[in-house]
Chains A and B, each alone.
Chain A
Amino acid sequence: GQSLEQPSEVTAVEGAIVQINCTYQTSGFYGLSWYQQHDGGAPTFLSYNGLDGLEETGRFSSFLSRSDSYGYLLLQELQMKDSASYFCAVRGPVNNNAGNMLTFGGGTRLMVKP
């Protein structure tokens, strides 16, 4: 099966940098994704790491290390609108039928303060 662990809450100030970690146990997976969800809204896709290393998209970056079963989401130049829940998710396991299955971690609630 697939299980993912994230911190439940993180607090940071506007303009700062924050890192949200995700550790996982899987029976094989294609890649690690990150989603953002504002209160009352639906999860929306932020980034995907299929390979080890860093992926950068504007103020957001995501990292994956398969050997450490670990990934993180890095948010820079924090803005008040970044206050939301952030979820890591794995696609897998690796087989023909279930390769697209998407399993989420418990989510990290980020509070950005002035």
Chain B
Amino acid sequence: DAGVIQSPRHEVTEMGQEVTLRCKLISGHNSLFWYRQTMMRGLELLIYFNNNVPIDDSGMPEDRFSAKMPNASFSTLKIQPSEPRDSAVYFCASSSPRQLNTEAFFGQGTRLTVV
């Protein structure tokens, strides 16, 4: 398996534009996490899905952010409209349902810059 795949790796957009980040889970994994990382706030959990269902979205900053899992292997994180303060590295990670001590596998991240 190629691991968790995120696209794009880098995104530069203008304030007010819509941004869509994509994530492909590892086959067989059923837990999906979206994180945002900045120097000031560290690794923040934005939303957690289990079996395609959003379980906890309390970390989603505001209504401008939305996340979906249209199927068991794919997720999107959308920001509309984007703002400069959304600039960060966004990671998705997946893990297996079989064991609670199973590691979470991270994608390489999407570095988002909103100008």
Please give the residue numbers on chain A whose beta carbons come within 8 Å of chain B beta carbons, in ascending order: 30-31, 33, 41-45, 48, 50, 87, 91, 97-107
Please give the residue numbers on chain B whose beta carbons come within 8 Å of chain A beta carbons, in ascending order: 31, 33, 35, 42-43, 45, 48, 50, 53, 55-56, 91, 93, 95, 97, 100-101, 103-109
Q: In the bound complex, what is the Cα–Cα distance between A47 and B91 (angstroms)?
A: 20
List 28 contacting pairs A-B, 8 Å CB cutoff, sorted by A. Answer: A31-B100, A31-B101, A33-B101, A33-B103, A41-B108, A42-B108, A43-B43, A48-B103, A91-B100, A98-B48, A98-B50, A99-B100, A100-B50, A100-B95, A100-B97, A100-B100, A101-B45, A101-B48, A101-B56, A102-B45, A102-B95, A104-B35, A104-B42, A104-B45, A105-B42, A106-B42, A107-B42, A107-B43
Q: From DSSP, what is the main secondary structure of chain A's interface residues?
A: loop
Sorted nearest first, the 9 A-B pairs with minimum C-beta distance are A45-B103, A42-B106, A104-B43, A100-B31, A48-B101, A106-B42, A30-B100, A101-B48, A97-B55
